[in-house]
Chain A
Amino acid sequence: SQTIHQWPATLVQPVGSPLSLECTVEGTSNPNLYWYRQAAGRGLQLLFYSVGIGQISSEVPQNLSASRPQDRQFILSSKKLLLSDSGFYLCAWSVGDRGAETQYFGPGTRLLVL
């Protein structure tokens, strides 16, 4: 069966520090991968998605970046965190028929920037 892992689970970082969040998927090949951010009490915002190794699409311009060095690994990074980067970061994967694609989410990383 497929599983998705995210780490760390919780992170407290000072403003201006770098960030690296990791997501890995097991039990499937060539998944589509996604990074979302959920600000406190709000909905989900798609940040990046990837349909293959080295292929990254950005949905929202900001100081975050994403990379996919391996088929089932997706990394979210920042060189300098801002206060507004605080939130709950969710990774998701999908495979499936076009028009009926279901996304499966990881447990999330809670980031607090102080």
Chain B
Amino acid sequence: GNSVTQMEGPVTLSEEAFLTINCTYTATGYPSLFWYVQYPGEGLQLLLKATKADDKGSNKGFEATYRKETTSFHLEKGSVQVSDSAVYFCALSDHNAGNMLTFGGGTRLMVKP
């Protein structure tokens, strides 16, 4: 079956530091890949997505590239801000599995001023 594995948190960084949150996946088909962000006390918001190999999703300074050869979709940001503190979820959607989203366990990011 499908699965998503994320690095465990919390990840604690100073403001303006470089961020990488690793995400790898296992899928039977050709999935679309997503990063969702959950700010404290709120629901999930779509951050970015990529629908095929070598696509790069980007939004708000965050980027992730769909790497089929390494089955990865690592999230990166060059300079984090305190307002980026949140929980980040990697997910995949497999049309062979009815487009259900499979989520990773989430990674909590804490950015200190």
Contacts and interface: CB of A to CB of B under 8 A. Distances in A.
B15 to A, nearest CB: 25
A106 B105 contact: no
Nearest to A34: B101
B1 interface: no
Interface range on chain B: under 10, 10 to 19, 20 to 34, or 35 or more? 20 to 34
Given A43-B104, A43-B105, A99-B93, A108 B42 contact: yes
B81 to A, nearest CB: 23
Contacts, number: 55
Contact of A102 (B43, B46, B100): B46
A99 to B, nearest CB: 4
A12 interface: no
Interface string A84-106: 00000010101000111111111
Interface range on chain A: under 10, 10 to 19, 20 to 34, or 35 or more? 20 to 34
A46 B66 CA distance: 24
Interface of B: 30-32, 34, 36, 42-46, 49, 51, 89, 93-95, 99-101, 103-106
